[in-house]
Amino acid sequence: MKIFKFGGASIKDAEGVKNVVSVLQKVGYSNTLVVVSAMGKTTNAMEIVVKNYFDNKPELQSALQDVLKFHNEILLDLFENESHEVFKKVKDLFRELDVFFKTNKSPDYNYVYDQVIGYGELVSTTIISHYLNHVGLQNNWLDVRSYIKTDSYYRRANVDWDVTQAQITKSFNKDILNITQGFLGSDANNFTTTLGREGSDYTAAIFAYCLNATSVTIWKDVPGVLNADPRYFENAQLLHQISYREAIELAFYGASVIHPKTLQPLQRKEIPLYVKSFLNPLDAGTSVSKGKTIEPEIPCFIVKKNQVLISLSSLDFSYIVEENISEIFSLLHLYKMKVDVIQNSAISFSVCLENTYNNLEKLLQHLKAKFKVTCHENVSLYTIRHFTEASISALEKDKTVLLKQLTQQTVQIVTS
């Protein structure tokens, strides 16, 4: 059993969908599950839909129509006959979404987000499943929400592994080509949940673990795992083979090519992960697997944009000790802040974090009651694994460094 995952960049238009067929024909698709993300930038567009629902109702239908039009154009490029059933199925999904907006009574942004955002994946897999059938690749469309069960932590749900394993064992057919959605699950009440942005890789790993898959392949628009994101760094180099440990480190620090949670289930069952180019599917790409600790011989650069740096100091110059730190972390947990860097001294404490749930103002007001607070928004967090002095100097050139932290193999630098 093989698991393939295709991200939004690989299916951003009709040519991308046709290329998925080409990849499957070249590498084989027997006993395969294909996990698919939303098409192109659909998730971003759906986030605008959610925002309009709460803040700008008059623009809600217009934003929805933009998403429908985008998918209709892809449908028209893929299917000659507009009477094909896929056109109706896609319209039905958008009608379903419209009904949700008219009947929803919940004011909870995170709940609404999860009920809405997943339609990107539901539509993309509907289109691709029908197109595969259309060109002779018979497949079975699965609603992932019937298989991956989670708690109700909307936008970053935690998998209930026992129930998920039971669901997959009970009803998954390994003998045919299956296609399903990445990123999504459902809770005990069958409300849609999501696994965190870019969570489709994690979906592939969950299925791989539960199905004892032979491998997982993530198809990307890059040749494999690179030592740097080519959008931000020049002369990025391919890492041909790395260990689970190194891949987990890179993912933890924010390497966008692999979702942070993807590696743990694969490592537990020693399922190899391949990261390959959907443009050159027969190239080797990067292999992540068990073995001796394979570390890159060159520095690896990672950048996270739009971070928040908060620096705290005591109002009376007293020490910041365990009791204070415990309280700070309780507040970070309360306001659902994802922490990326921590640094403290006798009378100060700094933390770089992601304001995913837009609770920053509430957090700051709470902190200001006990601490002197300095906050820098829209900062960048750079991480270099296996750094050299030259790599640090090159990174810091022409930047204002707000925080810097070195360990044996890793340096993290926050810049404004």
Confidence of residue 260 (pLDDT cuts 50, 70, 90): confident
111 with 154: CB under 8 angstroms? yes
Which residue has better confidence, 405 or 250? 405
* CA 231/CA 210 separation, integer angstroms: 35
pLDDT, tens digit, 9 for 90 and up, residues 312-371: 998 888 898 898 999 999 999 999 999 999 999 989 999 999 999 999 999 999 999 999
- Which pair of tokens denotes residue 224? 């494999």
Is the pLDDT reported for residue 292 higher than 60? no
* Least-confidence region, from 20-24, 178-182, 245-249: 245-249
Residue 53: count of CB within 10 angstroms of its CB: 20
Give the residue-averaged pLDDT of 260-268: 91
Q: What's the distance, CA 358 to chain centroid?
A: 18
Domains and CATH numbers, the chain: 2-213 (3.40.1160.10), 300-415 (3.30.2130.10)
Q: Are strands 215-220 and 273-277 parallel, antiparallel or unpaired?
A: parallel
Give the residue-averaged pLDDT of 65-94: 97
pLDDT, tens digit, 9 for 90 and up, residues 122-175: 999 999 999 999 999 999 999 999 999 999 999 999 999 999 999 999 999 999
* CA 347/CA 319 separation, integer angstroms: 5
* CA 264/CA 248 separation, integer angstroms: 8
The structure's pTM equals 0.86
Average pLDDT taken over every residue of the chain: 95
Beta-ladder partners of 386? none
